[in-house]
Amino acid sequence: MLIGRQEEAFDNPEWIYELKMDGFRCLAYMDNTGVDFRNKRNMQMDSRFPELSEIYRNVSGKCILDGEIVVLKKGVPDFYALQKRTLLTDRFKIELEAARFPASFVAFDCIYADERELVWEPLMQRKDVLQRLVTENDRIAVSRYIERQGIALYQAAEQRELEGIVAKRKDSAYLMGKRSRDWIKCKRMADEDFIVAGYIRKGKHTYSLILAKYRNGLLVYKGHVTSGVTSEAVSALTATGQNPFQLLPTGNQDAVWVMPDHVCTVEYMPNTRQALRQPVFKGYRQDICPDEVKIYK
């Protein structure tokens, strides 16, 4: 189930409010023999996070939990440390990072337990099941929530410079693979996913990524991001030499066009214009397919 929209924080007795984790969303399939983490693209994430291989021992019975894998630094989720983990393939390096900055799984929903599917049960009943199943430790936790006071929780998150909060309707079902207005995010900074269509070299170590989204099967130009783009981020791209756009604004004559197979998250200041204000490249997403990145309006 996906978040349907972004709004300003609000208070409502029919909703609960949770901190928004700056992590990678995963389903955790568990039984009494192990755990299998799968992201939105159904990629298995187990090998990237060996320190989470034993968390099934803290969960009662066979179940499917929805949550996020996070890496904490000084008690705050660090997306960059997490992204580094997902890009590693060498087992020795993975184990070194796992020892330095171990990941945790924070569960916020349960969609299967007690030999039955729970997706049509109200959210609060699923929360009760989740709480009953999990015994917390440093590697697995259950997401805390409060009722009614969404604005106060958002202000607390803002003071700690956290990402924001998620509001969820108490009686909401779990709609598999669907964006639902029963889940709303309230963030300090807006963020958005884009396909990387190319890049422009601005200086010796400075690059600007060319951003795009799909509309009716065609790539549509959506702007640039320069801040936060590293040489390593550019080296992950594969050049094609072919302009993927039908219509392209001027100023892109020196672009290096690439395979549109990388999805990135860009953080920016919210504004009323259809433009990215003060955009910052946050990293590549391993859990989103390029064909999911569409213009919906």
Q: What is the pLDDT of residues 52-110, one digit of tens each?
A: 999 999 999 899 999 999 998 888 888 878 878 888 889 999 999 999 999 999 999 99
Q: Does 160 reside within a domain? A: yes
Per residue in 26-36, pLDDT (tens digit) is: 999 999 999 99
C-alpha distances (whole Å) from 6 to each of 125, 179, 235 are 25, 12, 32
End residue of a domain, out of 157, 187, 217: 187
Total number of domains constituting the chain: 2
pLDDT of residue 284: 92
Give the pLDDT confidence score for residue 250 in this predicted structure.
79
Q: Do the domain assignments include residue 269?
A: yes
Domain's final residue, options 172, 187, 202? 187
- Rounded CA separation 238/218 (Å): 19
Q: Which residues pair with 195 in a beta bridge?
A: 212, 263
Do residues 112 and 34 both lie within one domain? yes
Q: Is the pLDDT of residue 140 over 80?
A: yes
- What's the CATH number where 144 sits? 3.30.470.30
- Regarding whether 81 and 207 lie in a shared domain, the answer is no
The predicted-structure confidence for 156-212, as pLDDT tens digits, reads as follows 998 888 889 999 999 999 999 898 999 999 988 778 999 999 999 988 889 999 999
CA angle 244/293/196 to nearest 5° reads: 45
CB within 8 Å of 185: residues ≥ 6 apart: 3, 5, 6, 7, 20, 164, 165, 166, 167
Which of 187, 207, 227 lies at the terminal end of a domain, its last residue?
A: 187
| Same domain flag for 79 and 203 | no
Check whether residue 115 and residue 135 sit in a common domain. yes
User: Could you tell me the residue range of the domain that residue 152 belongs to?
Assistant: 2-187
Q: CA 256, CA 76: separation in Å to the nearest integer?
A: 36
- Both 20 and 153 in one domain: the answer is yes
Q: How far apart are CA 260 and CA 257, in angstroms?
A: 9
Q: Tokens 């214009």 sit at which residue?
A: 273
Please indicate, yes or no, whether residues 111 and 125 belong to a single structural domain of this protein: yes
155 and 125 co-located in one domain: yes
Backbone angles phi, psi at 231, to 5 degrees: -60, -35
pLDDT at 177: 87
For 240-288, the pLDDT digits (tens) are 989 999 887 778 888 999 999 999 999 887 654 567 878 999 999 988 8
Structure tokens at 281: 């490249």
Is residue 297, in this structure, part of any structural domain at all? Answer: no
